[in-house]
Structure 1
């Protein structure tokens, strides 16, 4: 049950973020659900590999390069998921920031209500 709630939180955060940002487009609810699933898979498999390969750059930038990795994951999801498009790198970076903040706020709200 917690996995479904987490998935729905990411879906809501993605839809809200795409509504706020004109450079990010999600065609519908099913595309947002598929985006949440693909992001979960990419963050589980691809992101740790990218983080490991870029440890020196991440150390030199004091961790700010992780934002670039997040944007690259969003751009990769834009290639994989039909109905989800991102107009460029900067929109992907901004989308990842807005979606992360929105998901964190929603997670705090629903985590407190479940306790």
Structure 2
């Protein structure tokens, strides 16, 4: 359970960095507390999408992944971020990703920041 919370908070921090660096990834809303809650909820959605949908997409795109030597993973990460944005919109969360190129850059930023934070944070459970 602790590991799940740490990874969710790391994803929330990575999403926050992406919203700060890319103007087309927007997080609207009230004050800092509201934005923090929205980021945590979006991080939970992002975690569920990555847990349930991403393996299926990777399985079906395995030939393309092999052909591109894994670079197609950037496209898959972008699609997962766009799906997260769509789900957040359906749940009336104020998180939006505008455009595929922004999603590719956002997915890259989120992957790098999440990786760095997960390396720094303890791995328990």
Q: Same fold, TM exceeding 0.5?
A: yes
TM-superposed deviation, 1:61: 1.1
| Distance in 2 between residues matched to 1:92 and 1:68, nearest whole Å | 9
Determine if the alignment matches structure 1 residue 64 to structure 2 residue 71. Answer: yes
Structure 1 stretches of 4+ with a deviation exceeding 6 A read none
TM-score by length of 2: 0.83
Matching residue of 1:6: 7
Unaligned runs of 5+ in 2: 29-34
Query: What are the superposed Cα offsets for residues 44-91 of structure 1, whole Å, 9 maximum, x if unpaired?
Result: 111111111111111111111111111001001111112111110010
Q: SS in structure 2 opposite 1:42?
A: helix
Q: CA RMSD in A?
A: 1.6
Q: SS in structure 2 opposite 1:85?
A: strand
Matching residue of 1:105: 116
Determine if the alignment matches structure 1 residue 88 to structure 2 residue 124. Answer: no
**What is the aligned residue count?**
113
- Greater helix proportion: 1
Matching residue of 1:30: 37
Matching residue of 2:52: 45
TM-score by length of 1: 0.89
